[in-house]
Amino acid sequence: MSEADDFDAFYRARFAPVVRRIHLATGDLTRAEDVVQEAFVRAWQHWSTMRDHDPRAWVEQVAWRLAIDGWRRTERFERILKRHAARPRPAEPASDVEHLDAVLALLRPLSTERRMLLVLIYFDDRSVEEAALTLGIPLGTAKSRLARALASLRNSNFKEGTTS
């Protein structure tokens, strides 16, 4: 298999799952697609040396870092998120997460940091330690954010979601 064919197969297999997780964390499908696409562009630039290692982990790490960098550069994230929620949504890619809109509604009130942590742990099947490493935060901070995020869901959104 040629290098290009190898990369194409990797891209087809991994693009949508990574987009779904970034989308869940950000609530912004367009931004998720952009950062994941950029991660794959960077992977292609290094494909000849990367493909014999773990390109899946590398691409996912780069996508998460790009998403995080974008949030750190702007203080307008909540305003953009609210504006996005009011727009008609484009067709979403096929999802392995049932009821994506309901999950987004549950996660939306959480801070970006807490939302990202929950997605990494519960939708990306990472340990708290791996999530902390991905987000570039201390383990104690990750554990604290996780506890607060879960408490917030238990105390407000989750109860509201179960009564409807």
The phi and psi torsions of 83 (rounded to 5 degrees) equal -65, -40
Q: Are 61 and 132 in contact (CB under 8 A)?
A: no
**Whole-angstrom distance, CA of residue 33 vs CA of residue 63:** 10
Taking only the tens place, the pLDDT of each residue in 12-54 is 999 999 999 999 988 889 989 999 999 999 999 989 888 778 8
Q: Is 107 exposed, middle or buried (0-12, 13-18, 19+ CB in 10 A)?
A: buried
**Whole-angstrom distance, CA of residue 54 vs CA of residue 51:** 7
Structure tokens at 57: 């982990």
**Threshold 0.85, pTM exceeds:** no
Domain hosting residue 97, numbered range: 3-163
pLDDT at residue number 91:
52
Taking only the tens place, the pLDDT of each residue in 103-130 is 888 888 888 889 989 888 888 888 999 9
pLDDT at residue number 139:
94
**Whole-angstrom distance, CA of residue 40 vs CA of residue 3:** 14
Taking only the tens place, the pLDDT of each residue in 80-110 is 455 555 555 555 554 555 677 778 888 888 8
Confidence label for 164 from pLDDT (cuts 50, 70 and 90): very low
pLDDT at residue number 62:
92
Q: How many domains does the chain have?
A: 1
Q: Rounded mean pLDDT of 131-138?
A: 90
The phi and psi torsions of 125 (rounded to 5 degrees) equal 55, 45
Instruction: Quickly count: other Cβ atoms within 10 Å of residue 124's Cβ.
Output: 20
Q: What CATH number corresponds to the domain at position 151?
A: 1.20.140
The phi and psi torsions of 98 (rounded to 5 degrees) equal -70, 145
Q: Look at residue 37 and give its three-state secondary structure.
A: helix
